[in-house]
Amino acid sequence: MDVLIKRIDDSLPLPAYQTDGSVFFDLAARETIEIAPQSTGLIPLNIVVATPEGYLFLLVPRSSTPLKKGLLIPNGIGVIDQDYCGNGDEVRLLAYNFSRETVTIERGERIAQAGFVRVDRANWREVESMPGANRGGFGSTG
């Protein structure tokens, strides 16, 4: 899949898959950022991406980020829409520092990962009753 990408700072590398089996690629911070304890910060990731039609660009922290940095995404994931691709639409990671210390993310540090996920748009067909049996949800299977 060919994807249009623009780096804000071309002295930093393009995103890269770290192994042959990686399904997401790593993204690095464009600048050094400090996030105070129990607060959020926006980490600029140095890229603008034109997400191809039929896909979403999914942004998540690297799996080591909570352990090494004490950071999580407050809403769990970052969904980058197809129309967020103007020259100034830099992808940023919203991060919450759940630790008791100020966290520093260094310029060039790999802090997030992202990939493309296929999506479809729904055509709603409203019905009076659903065909399935009630399951209960939220722990209903034990």
The CATH number of the domain holding residue 23 is 2.70.40.10
Eight-class DSSP state of 6: E
Q: Is 142 inside any structural domain?
A: no
Is 88 domain-assigned? yes
135 part of a folded domain:
no
Question: What token pair was written down for 48?
Answer: 């603008």
pLDDT value, residue 141: 66
Q: Is residue 127 part of a domain?
A: no
Q: What is the Cα Rg of the chain in Å?
A: 18
Determine contact, residues 44/63, Cβ cutoff 8 Å.
no
Residue 129 lies in a domain: no
Helix (H, G, I), strand (E, B) or coil at 68: helix
- Provide the pLDDT confidence category of residue 132 given band limits of 50, 70 and 90: confident
d(CA 94, CA 78): 8
Tell me how many domains the chain contains. Answer: 1
Query: Would you say residue 107 lies in a domain?
Result: yes
Residue 140's pLDDT is 62
Segment 45-89, tens digit of pLDDT: 999 999 999 999 999 999 899 999 999 999 889 999 999 999 999
Enclosing domain of residue 30: 4-118
Alpha carbon of 137 to those of 13, 67, 75, 133: distances in Å? 45, 31, 21, 12
Distance between CA atoms of 48 and 89, rounded to whole angstroms? Answer: 6
